[in-house]
Structure 1
Amino acid sequence: MQKLKQRLQHKRIFGMGGILAGILAFTGTVYGAPEEMPEENQVAYAEVSTCLNIREGAGMEYPVIARLPKDGYCEVKKEEGAWCYIESEEIEGYVYKSYLETGMNQETYLRRTGREEPVYAYKVENVEMNTAGKGQEIADFALQFVGNPYVWGGTSLTSGADCSGFVQSVYRNFGISLPRVAADQAQAGTRVSLEQLQTGDLIFYADGGAIYHVVLYLGNGQVVHASSAATGIKISPVNWQNAVWGVRLI
């Protein structure tokens, strides 16, 4: 009789343990395991008026290696004090945490920013030397409008512009007048070779000798431009095959 009572008591204990294990398995609680940021909450964007510097290390003393445009999309990989280590497409580095809007997934990012697709970081070269220049100021201003629509014949930086309308409106903000169409803009300012390009210069593309497109040079082989109705205002590599010359207006 005594042995039977002991067996029943043993069964009740193990039964309670099984229930507890089941509860822990159901809730996903694992005691002692490190807490990780859920993947859906790693998405963030740059909440700035122009662009956010991406640095090589977690501190202002580290060089700038790239920039994240206004509303630029990134994923937060880890936090180090006031800094976040982020990844934006193929670019990784550190940004100051206070300028990031965090805690969302990609769907929420698109809804909050009003973008149809993510806007990513772009690389820069010798940015510390160029930051004080007017060309960099113009480039930073233009980057605010990445993701906005392309509209044929348009000149609005927010509601829509075509390629020549985009650069005309950007430069108008700095008190510089440009003709309306790309072919005429190509004759303005000072013509420079592609080897002499500086941040803020215009680059013209031609096909069969006819100018058909204008872009604004960011440096390091990158441009910002009103591309097409499908892609809007975007950052792209220079199309060196069709680029013919640059124009400097400052």
Structure 2
Amino acid sequence: QVSNYVNVREKASEGSKIVGKLYNNAAATILAEKGDWYQVISGTVTGYIKADYLTTGDKVEELADQVGTKIATVNTTTLKVREKASPESRVLTLVPVGEEMVVNKEKKEWLKVTFTDGSTGYVAADYVDIRTEFDEAISIEEEKAQQAAEKARKAAEEAARKAKEQERHRIHSYSTSNSSSDKTSSSSSSASGSSSNSSSSSSSSGQSSSLRSNIVSYALQFEGNPYVWGGTSLTGGTDCSGFTQSVYEKFGIYIPRDSRSQAGSGRQVSLSSMKPGDLIFYSRNGRINHVVLYIGNGKVIGASSRREGITIKNYNYRTPVKVVSYLQ
């Protein structure tokens, strides 16, 4: 344990090249001992760490309970989620095999769990598989990629802000210019203006269609990649709302992090008028808890579960409760 992070080095020497960083409370597997160094593997990083910086032995189990996140995965066809830790308690909802949830508390044969939408309940421990997840080391290359992505995100945000400001200025200038024109001139140019508006509308429609197509093409690249609870990495692992947020972010479109907030923003459209690139939402027990990206032809792509990862399905594999568009 350290205050921030410890360097992972290529060789068992303080002068050796740094190949990664292991942050406080992250985990690593010890491969071998070499003097006062451990050879470890964590995530994609393999290297050496001074033994003084790692907690080992009996203390590990106690520390694991404090810093690890326990994830329960449903291993039966359908599991009942109850209001209290009792088989007589009211059933809140049913969850399918493969569904994942965070374990908050263990109470004999019952687990108190939290779902991705923030809802909580109790499930019988016999019908789930439990694993503990820990943060892992990050390689220097991964760190640089993250820094570059963050820099690009900030640049995109700034570019979007400037574009909006320029658009507001253009509209304001156009409005001011129009209001100072005399009525005769305005009337005589109505036919020309109508033609211009038609051309502008057609151009805008074409740009919107192109953007939707690009968003879908980009999203499809990540089919088969892993699902990770709370993740936002399209390659390393993401959950459902992290997937849609990260895909949109690539195109300078910034939406909320969780599915319910995403459903509450944007413009609601009907199922019959949805277009590729729109978001479709599903609910459990009356609460939105899942989101996917519509790709056209009745298909959607989304991060479904740890078992399935990022996958393509029919849009009605569950009953859609809302469709939202963030696009024109």
TM-score normalised per structure 1: 0.47
State the structure with bigger RCO (CA 8 A, min sep 6), 1 or 2: 1
* Larger fraction in helix: 2
TM-score, with length taken from structure 2: 0.36
